[in-house]
Amino acid sequence: MTTSHVTVKTLAALTLLVGFGSTGRADPAPVTVDWALKQAPRQPGVNVPAPAAAQCKVAPIPGDKPGKSVGSIVTGPDGKPVRQFVSYDDKTFNIVVYFVDGVEAYREVYPPDPKEPFQFRWLGPNGTKWGLDRNRDGVIDEWAVISPEEASQELVQAVTTRDPKRIEALLVTKENLTALGLPSADADKLVARTTGAAKRVSETAAALKLTDKAKWVHVEYGIPNTRAADSFGGRQDYTAYKNGTILVEDGGKGQALQTGELILIGKAWKLVDGPSAGAAPQGGSAPDGPVVPEEVRPLVERLNKFDQNVPNPPTPAAMYEFNSKRAELLEQIHERLPEDKKETWAKMLLDSHAAAAENDKPGNKHLARLDQFKKTYAAPNMNPAIASYAAYRLLYAENSVAMANMKPDGSDLAAIQDKWRAALEEFVKAFPQSADAPEAYWRLAMAQEHSGAKDAETKARATYETLVKNYADTPQGAKGAGALKRLDSEGKPLELTGQVLGTNQAFNAAQPGKVVVVYYWASWSDSLAEDAKKLQALVKDYEKKGLVVVTVSLDHDAKQAADAIKTSGLPGTHLFAEGGLDRSTLAATYGILAPPYVFVAGKDGKVVKRNTGIAAIEEEVKKLAQ
């Protein structure tokens, strides 16, 4: 896809210079009312109703010279503009504007220079989109401005029409990322992910079987992630939604599809991965019946508008206010829906209550509402999926609130942890078939292993075994298998292979004849700076005696990991896999619970120590290096 060298600023300057937007499809002959009202937007789906011709008038637009006009304006019976045509080359109409209730709602720009793209802008009540047509064939090649909601709407259209050109216009390009200031290697990886987007459109269309009558209803993104520009030497911050769930209604049936990652480039949200069928992990399942009955459609439209104003910066107080008000809107939607249509919307509501609860005091109204949902939907003949969803978010929010309000001396920490384990045990017994059960088992095993009790590993092992047995095909099941392997690792060969950060090179951490220290870490770990200094000292003293340091980053972002290595001076060979602590294959290999975590392997390749603190490994390394 060709990428524009015309910036939004340049486009704005051009538009201001010429005044408004046009069709470029007719000679600038005198405009009549009948002709003007027959002109239609070149792009589909633009809302620009026209009044009756008999009620309209045409007037010239004065030019710079006396007696010279630059176009015509058509007004309705109330005197408000309806259409406006402008020519600044005296050959064609270069600009046309369509109005709704006197407000500019859509604009088309046709520059006379063949090197300049045609432009199509959605304005006023029609939104914010600004599309560029580089080859001037009437089809948008790239979006200069598009909101995340509009990007999701375009994505639905790409899927329903099976149109690869439409998805191509949404994708991020190498030039976009270079303009952002992203390092070339990182940009190349993101662009490589876009190559399968057209195929994913076809796969999603085949999976969902959406018709051309499918309607976009709502999109859920959550909170965007931002990396400051100065953290990677960029010109702009890197802001992205990791995924989103789009709700679609088609023939009275609800469907869901995922957006994949979106990145903000200037004023345009660009897709990276393309779509996939089903809801994103946090979004829940699609309902079986109509997504939005007519009686709640106005409320859903209010929700869509509300979601466009996520607080920036997202301070705890601002996010509490946002999520509280969002929950109020969703409560109204939930109340008006029939019971068999509530699940998807109930989960959105519960997510908002949980998010608000975590920024409030113990016993707050949002926790009470989560508890009410849990009890109501646990009753016979109610929806157990909603009950389990509420129960898990309740226990998680209660623990977050308790930790945030812990006594300064930490004297109530043990009681908080006991309650957390008990709540998880209760949940997995009550809802073993729920979507959250694998995650609950994983967190229960973590809590048991970290409890400090004499039987901590025994209890954790039993929970890991249940997790592996019952949920083997889940990410948590894979991590549970890794955790069991970790618990039994001493005296067994070190088995860890991964990709070296910033390269395509595979590296096996097992190094025969070498003493190997494997250090799991993350840029957000409080101990990273001090640990790096201690590892530097170990390398200085023992590298010539056969010491090899292998570090494993548990960050989500490769660039963030590379920056942390540079800042901290962390030595060794650095391994990285996408997914972070929760989803990284390197974390799953040994079921790592949290950084830092250290393995030490001897020259025979077998693990000698696991979970050894950095401060305690020097004596071990000294013995093994002899």
**C-alpha span between 524 and 553 (Å, rounded):** 11
The confidence score (pLDDT) of residue 288 equals 41
Identify the residue whose tokens are 């019976």: 77
What are the φ and ψ backbone dihedral angles of 318, each rounded to 5 degrees? -65, -40
The confidence score (pLDDT) of residue 22 equals 39
Output the six-digit token pair for 75: 């007004």
The confidence score (pLDDT) of residue 280 equals 65
What are the φ and ψ backbone dihedral angles of 547, each rounded to 5 degrees? -80, 135
CATH superfamily of 497-625: Glutaredoxin (3.40.30.10)
Is domain 147-291 given the CATH code 2.40.30 in the classification? no
Q: Which of 554, 493, 542, 548 is nearest to 518 (CA)?
A: 548
The confidence score (pLDDT) of residue 503 equals 86
For residue 202, the tally of other CB atoms under 10 A from its CB is 14
What are the φ and ψ backbone dihedral angles of 125, each rounded to 5 degrees? -70, -10
| Domain span(s) for CATH 3.10.450 in the chain | 147-291
The confidence score (pLDDT) of residue 2 equals 38
DSSP-derived pairing of the beta strands 130-133 and 142-146: antiparallel
The confidence score (pLDDT) of residue 5 equals 38
The confidence score (pLDDT) of residue 170 equals 97
The confidence score (pLDDT) of residue 16 equals 35
Output the six-digit token pair for 339: 């019971």
Provide the residue type at 411 as one letter.
S
CA 193 to chain CA centroid, nearest Å = 15
Output the six-digit token pair for 590: 């040994």
Distances in whole angstroms, Cα of residue 361 to Cα of each of 349, 365, 405, 454 = 19, 9, 8, 34
Let me know: does 268 contact 145? Beta carbons within 8 Å.
Answer: yes
Let me know: does 506 contact 498? Beta carbons within 8 Å.
Answer: yes
For residue 99, the tally of other CB atoms under 10 A from its CB is 22
**C-alpha span between 29 and 573 (Å, rounded):** 72
Provide the residue type at 438 as one letter.
P
For residue 179, the tally of other CB atoms under 10 A from its CB is 17
| Domain span(s) for CATH 3.40.30.10 in the chain | 497-625
The confidence score (pLDDT) of residue 281 equals 58
As averages over each run of 10 residues, the pLDDT of the chain (626 residues) reads 40 38 51 91 87 89 80 92 90 91 93 90 92 93 95 94 92 92 87 91 90 88 82 85 89 86 94 86 44 78 85 85 94 90 89 93 94 94 93 95 91 94 96 94 94 92 96 91 95 94 90 95 92 94 94 90 94 92 90 93 94 82 86
Element spanning 266, H or E: none
